[in-house]
Amino acid sequence: MKLSVVIPTLNDRERLVRSLDALGEHAPAVECIVVNGPSTDGTTGMIRDRDDVATLVELADRNLNVARNAGATRATGDAIAFLSSNRAIEPGWYEAVLEGLETADAVTGPTHRELHTGLASEAVESRSIAGREVTYINGSNAAFHRDVLTDLDGFDEYLQTGGARDLSHRLAANGYTVGWAGKMCVRRGLEADGGRHERDWGWKYRALSYRLVKNYGVRPTVARRMFSHGVSDAVGTLRDVARGEATPSSWVGNGRDVLRGMGRGATDAVFARRKDNHDRRNPNGISARADRAVEVYTWR
> Which candidate, 40, 59, 56, places its Cα nearest to that of 48?
56
Neighbour-count burial of 79, counting CB atoms closer than 10 A to its CB (0-12 exposed, 13-18 middle, 19+ buried): buried
pLDDT value of residue 70 = 96
pLDDT value of residue 192 = 53
> Which candidate, 46, 42, 20, places its Cα nearest to that of 33?
20
Give the angle subtended at the CA of 59 by the CAs of 53 and 60, to the nearest 5°: 155
pLDDT value of residue 252 = 75
Rg (CA), the chain: 19
pLDDT value of residue 196 = 47
pLDDT value of residue 161 = 92
CB 213 within 8 A of CB 267: no
CB 269 within 8 A of CB 213: yes
Name, in order, each residue with C-beta under 8 angstroms of 228's C-beta and a sequence gap of 6 or more. Answer: none
Low-confidence ranges of the chain (pLDDT < 50): 194-196
pLDDT value of residue 18 = 96
Question: Phi-psi bin for 217: left (phi > 0), alpha (psi -120 to 50), beta?
Answer: left
DSSP 8-state code for residue 56 = E
List Cα–Cα distances, 166 to 25, 135, 154, 161, 207, in angstroms.
32, 11, 11, 9, 9
Which part of the chain is CATH 3.90.550.10? 3-195+284-298
CA distance 201 to 260: 10
pLDDT value of residue 247 = 80
Q: How many CB atoms lie within 10 A of CB 250?
A: 14
pLDDT value of residue 191 = 62
Question: How many distinct helices (H) and strands (E) make up the chain?
Answer: 9, 14
pLDDT value of residue 55 = 97
* Angle separating helix axes 163-173 and 201-216, nearest 10 degrees: 10
3-195+284-298, superfamily in CATH? Spore Coat Polysaccharide Biosynthesis Protein SpsA; Chain A (3.90.550.10)
Give alpha helix (H) positions in 13-122: 13-26, 43-48, 64-74, 93-100
First to last CA, the chain: 18
> Which candidate, 6, 113, 128, places its Cα nearest to that of 136?
128
pLDDT value of residue 194 = 46
